[in-house]
Structure 1
Amino acid sequence: MVKYVRLPIVDDCSLEIMLEVLSHYPSINNVDLYLEVKPVSDQATRKRSRQGDTNVDGSVRDDTLGTQQKGNSNGWLEDEENMDDEDCEIGVGNAVAQKDSRMKKPGLTKGLRDSVSKQVIFSSSWLDERELHVGMIFIDKDELEKAVELYSNRRQREYIAYEDRLVFMCKKRKVCGWVLNAAETKSGGLEITEYTDPHTCKPVDVGADFLAGEIEGLIKAHPSLSITELSKWVKKEFGYTVSGDNMWNAKKKAITTILGDLDKSFSVLPKLMAALCSSNKMVLDWQCDAFPDPKDSSFRSVFWAFQQSVEGFSPCRPLILVDTVDLSGKYPGKMLVAAGLDAENSLFPLAFAITTQESLSADTWRWFFACIRKKVTQREGICLITSPNPDIVAVVNEPEFQWAQHRFCLRHLCFKFYDVFKNNLMTEFVYKAGSTKYISSFDDYLMKIEEMNPEARKWLDQISLHQWALAHDSDRLRFGIMTTNLIFTTYSFINKSRDLPITACILLIFDHLAELFKTRLGFLDESLKNRGEVYATHVMTKLEEYKLASRTHDVLPLDQTPERFQVTKVMQPANKKFFVHCSDRVCTCQTWQVYKYPCSHVIAVCRRLNFDHLQYVNDFYKTESFRGVYAAVFNPLPGVSDWLEASEVPRPFPPGSPPRSAVKPVTTESPRNNSAKASDANTGASGQSETRRSGRPKKPNSKYGI
């Protein structure tokens, strides 16, 4: 975009100002003007002025993203006010040229007169990314340093600056001869006097801070661009490759700049959530503490779930994992995550909530589970796996909580056991006892624990066996899933951004989900098209292993009906026997019941009967059903400037302001009639039994998978 302003100064001479702002350089925040005075004809001047007016009023097209933008709404540089030919003020050093009806012939300053007699190379010429060269002039040292920094970052090179001598050299000067020397000019500026180019060293990764400036305008206009899309854009625009981690850090910095710091982000949060609701049909619920002014409030909790996850959960197994991730920083809090598992046993994001540390209590968990039940899924017979947190246990044991069967995460249970008895070996036995499929093995491990410490055995006996031991999961609701740590590992990126504003965390989660759905859907389409896999890859792999093992099995019918069979493994000294009942889908090895696909013994029986063993694979593992989990598409977010004000919740301020004694609790949707009565009694003490997430969690022993 080019703007011209023409001012008459003396007879047959005009002062023409050319401001060139390149829209594809979002990192340019300040542009200094240098003036060239030359004689021009009135006709040429009028022509140039009309061309400038056309460029200012015309539309600007961003070819990279294919979006039509008008005026100055391109997202890179925004004018705070419009310049008017009738009232234009230009400062050059200490001189000011001002057009006014009372001023007839203002004189030129000495520096400006000197510049007329020689060819001037505008210092802004480095903005178009042409090569630096001898003779290029800069207004001062700061501008020269900015030019060298921009040039070096754009070419992914590191340099050393000797500021006292105005010398810049490649950091790898032993193998690279890139050098730039500058000297002062008579007019007080700086001129490049010596320059050796190009670099002969290898490029390095661009710094996240610089990269954040490059993409800030782009993210402001397109907040939901993924890391992959941003990397492709940078490669196309500037020609350099950026690592995923570096782009991730740059995006976090850019989001923080756009959406505000830790304090401001709370007031921006309703606009972000409203934008997500309108663009992606996200379901939402708030908890806040009201201020005396009903328009304002103190943030307590927010719940959200995307419609894409709600739709995708139906083909998943009836299984929900729940865990927490710590959010440290100025306002410590917890992120509550509910997730399912897809056919490949990968985590499927279902619902999220962020709550303040002091608010996490039984009331908060009751609200969180009520939101899941009302807004996310009404399926029955769900297996809910959580930590043995006393607050969670109290909530799920209430009469209203009848829609799920509760099970404990074995990993969390082992942490709790170790905190009490401080013994690695006993903790390892607890893990092995809980994860074995056989009751006999379970009893053996408990006997060993009792021999080592009778009190430890008594401690375990207080917990219902079906809640933590796979061998006693009589309803086989767990599908063999014993832990929830997939949540923590999947959302470990939150730990990298736990000190960022709440808006940045939520936007990064949205990015993760959008990319996850897109990537997995593409993988599934490839599996169906190229490999023709009917069931999930890991299931097909297991079935091939079992099919090979079944060739060494002997099958003996136990009655006249093709229902009950005895299967033995040949070439084994013990000659152990296994019993298969086809109609009940039971094998005494327990694999069929636990994982819901046939074991080697069942496959051996099917071979004898000439049956297709795939008929005994649970439909939850079908690739076609699996594809339905990720079929929904995430829509891009509108530009930040298009986010509307949200009226469904009072404007939230950071937690704890003003003092809690001056507030009364409110919630936008009460999960049950009396939930609001106890909201000020939240102390957060019971929430301290939740998994430690600050830094590295205290682990008893990594050998047993914790």
Structure 2
Amino acid sequence: MCISTMMVLSLAATLERWPLWDSEIAHLEKGMIFSDKKSLVHVVQLYNLKRNRECKVIESKGNSWVVEWKHDYNWRVQATKLKDKDFFQIRKGLKRRISISPELPLATIIEVMMEKFQFTISYKKTWHARKKAVAMAFKPAIKGFKYCHPVICIDDTHLYGKYEGKIVAATAVTAANKIIPLAFAVVDKKMIKSWGWFITLIRRRVCRDLEGVTLISDRYTTLLSVVSRIWNNPAVQPRGYHRYCLRYVCSNFNKRFGNTVAKDLVWRAGSVRQVRKFNKIIEDIYKLEKNAEWRFSRMNPIHWTLCQLVKYFDEGKIIVENASNWGHLYTSNVQRWINEHQAKANVHMLVPINRETGKYEVRTAPYGMGVVLVK
């Protein structure tokens, strides 16, 4: 059997197993094959154009192509080139998860429900479902946040009565230590998805491009997992930081041990400015509650104590003083930049030719000399 015949049989077997896209097919699915990469790109663009969606290309190589929705709808197509063929195949399938938000079109929600559950919901029910995810923010407060301390406090509380759920809120503190509301939302009880949505809105609408904003919150598991992924993550820009609310640390400690004396000591431990005093108070807490050591071992002191913040500046002060005593006037990065440019300047010499006309000769040792005009 010749090689061309074997290739035809291999292609026939592939097409028998997986569908080859044609113009009559109105959907995309895992395993679908396209005649070439150009056809794949055209079909995916047409597919999303009919649904009023905008896509962005994540990866485009000779043997692979990845595209997803541009507005965080978690829809993705990943296709790769078949071995020894020009055909492209959708390998990873369509990853599509619906996360209701005010920006999600009603038609998209209805379509996803139909594809996932084979059930058509009315526009009225879809509108009510999307309305549950509405967040409100105050424009003057958002515009003024850049003049506040770079700290945002988030919290939630249960709603009782006819309407259940939770209300989540974000607040900031002005330079005069006045509290201002930034945003709030009424969300579902399943907080892990709601927190992710709310914190993402805070990052995009409030913080925007601000670097180093610190988020203060309670430390229950669902919230910590969201914050570590969305906020306190070096891969996410601009970079943010996360700290624990001291009031919640004390309250949770009291719930666990039921010791108000030890609870007051926890507050003092988080409030003192010297590491020496912090260590002494922690020892006193361990004497009252032996099991408290295990609990504190799970919390990094830098996340809930003031002394660790002061320690950071104290250590920085020592470093600066030592550098100054050695005659260093600048930081290491600035001094390195100065040294590099000074080394470049040392090979040049400026020789005046005619000062009145502003004509000078620049002599460069390794490369010869040239004449330039200096104004």
- Using the size of structure 2 for normalisation, the TM-score is 0.48
Larger Rg: 1
Greater RCO structure (CA 8 Å; 6+ sep)? 1
- Using the size of structure 1 for normalisation, the TM-score is 0.26
